[in-house]
A = this chain, B = another copy of it.
Amino acid sequence: MRVVNIGAPHFAAALEAQGVEVAQADWRPPAGGDMKLIEALEKLSTPAVAEANAKALAIINSGHPVLVDVGWARDLIPGMQRTTILHSGPPNRWETMSGPQRGAVLGALMLEGLADSPEAAEALAASGEIEFRANNDHGCVGPMAGVISYSSALFVVENRAFGNRAFTNLNEGYGKVLRMGAYAPEVLEKLRWINAEVAGALQGALRLMDGGLDLRSLIAQALHMGDECHNRNKAVGALFLREMAPYLARAAGVGPEALARILDFIGHNEIWFVNLSMAACKATLDAARSIPGSTVVTCMARNGYEFGLQVAGLPGRWFTGPAQKVRALYFPGFTEADAAPDIGDSVITETAGIGGFAMAAAPAIVQFVGGTPELAAELTAHMYEITLSESPVYSIPAFGFRGTPTGIDIRKVVETGILPSINTGVAHRLPGVGQVGAGLVHPPANIFADALLALAEAAAPQTAPTRRYDDPI
């Protein structure tokens, strides 16, 4: 006797226990069988939603991010005060901040001269005098703790197709760095150097370039060079440097020693480009952030406490759930017990169809995040099931140059139960330490369900209710 079991696997287990040969089909009821969700899905299966989504996808797929300038947060971010701290993820308060984000805040307050010790910084952070804001609500993104303060140098990325701009800080490299929650004096000294000499030279170089640096082109090339441009940015960083180096050499006021120092720093920081990759994706997605009725995800971000999501149909509204544990490869000397939960704005890359969604383009990344090249390919393949389109610009050679899965549809996530697959770094759970590993993670499932219900609720009542097959004519 042979049985094909569809659905709940415990039936299969029971049959197998009786010696019956069972083939378990990988079928689950849509939306886990939850009737409220199924009704919401039905309500959002209209031509109006399809049209709104088509609009969102057209905008995302024609996004054209270009690095046009370097400036400083004090000049670029409206309302930025010395007491303003921008951070990664959905909005957060000092009380609920994760260790690495707290550490970065302490560092930033000392960097800005508002405190002269970690203890004084902590007292100030808890005093209520500091205004904490979410990067993504201000056109910004930052990896890990994502802290941007008054004197932070920022890259300015313009979406050439729509004119909107996004900002990101400059990557600090490896070791003890603010973005991982470290705040020792040498961390701040390096940051000061980056915000002054490195940023100044890059500004000078960019202003010599005609039309800026085309980030879309760099990312497209890098996806053919083993990068997925979230956790692996080795090729794209080298491409960035080869484009910028002649302009850095020509930029006024940079002597040979300073130039060598800058070239060395950028060239040997293989994650240098991740901030630019993020800003490119942010500029691309922000153009689609407000499209009534659309079920396309326009923002995902984490702060180590919560994972937040925004959807085009409900602009500016965060749907949040608990930040998850990362399945990671740990650096020598560290274990899961050291890890902070999922943190950083870098998941904006997956939201735009690269990063984990393009992992099949980056088989060598498994040496860093774990798994096998086959698994990397499978993870990307799954993402086509929850996205609405394939990028016309970013493609995967190993998939016969198929476009990367782009445009996450919350309906598809809820219907299939497949969650977005994210590549990420892992910070130590305590302030002041740094990175401890890298791995794979998912958002919490509830945020997709919550966004779906909210969208269904917001949807205008249908003037002509959908006819059902069993309705009397």
Residues of B within 8 A of A221 (CB): 234
User: In the docked arrangement, what's the CA distance between A247 and B256, Å?
Assistant: 10
Interface stretch (choices A4-12, A123-131, A237-245, A314-322):
A237-245
Minimum distance in angstroms from A274 CB to a CB of chain B: 16
Interface membership of A405, Cβ < 8 A? no
Chain B residue nearest to A251 (CB atoms) is: B256
B242 to A238, Cβ gap below 8 A? Answer: yes
By the criterion CB–CB under 8 Å, are B264 and A246 in contact?
yes
Contacts of A247 in B (CB 8 A): 260
- Chain B contacts of A266 at CB under 8 A? 242
Q: Is the interface of A mostly helix, strand, loop or mixed?
A: helix
Give bound CA distance, A339 to B112, whole Å. 65
Cβ contacts under 8 Å, A246 to chain B: 260-261, 263-264, 267
- Indicate how many identical chains form the complex: 2
Query: What residues of B have a CB within 8 angstroms of the CB of A227 in the complex?
Result: 225
Contact of A257 among B238, B250, B261 (CB under 8 A): B250
Of the candidates A234, A241, A243, A263, the one having the most CB atoms from chain B within 10 angstroms of its own CB is A263
Verify if A335 is at the interface (C-beta below 8 Å from B). no
A217 to chain B, nearest CB (A): 13
Question: How close is A25's CB to chain B, nearest CB, in angstroms?
Answer: 29
How far is B398's CA from A247's CA once the two chains are assembled, in angstroms? 36
Question: Using Cβ atoms and an 8 Å threshold, which residues of chain B touch A263?
Answer: 242, 245-246, 249
Q: List 11 A-B contacts (CB under 8 A).
A: A225-B234, A238-B241, A241-B241, A241-B242, A242-B268, A246-B260, A246-B264, A250-B260, A364-B397, A373-B400, A398-B398
The 5 closest A-B pairs by CB, nearest first: A238-B238, A242-B267, A363-B397, A224-B364, A249-B260
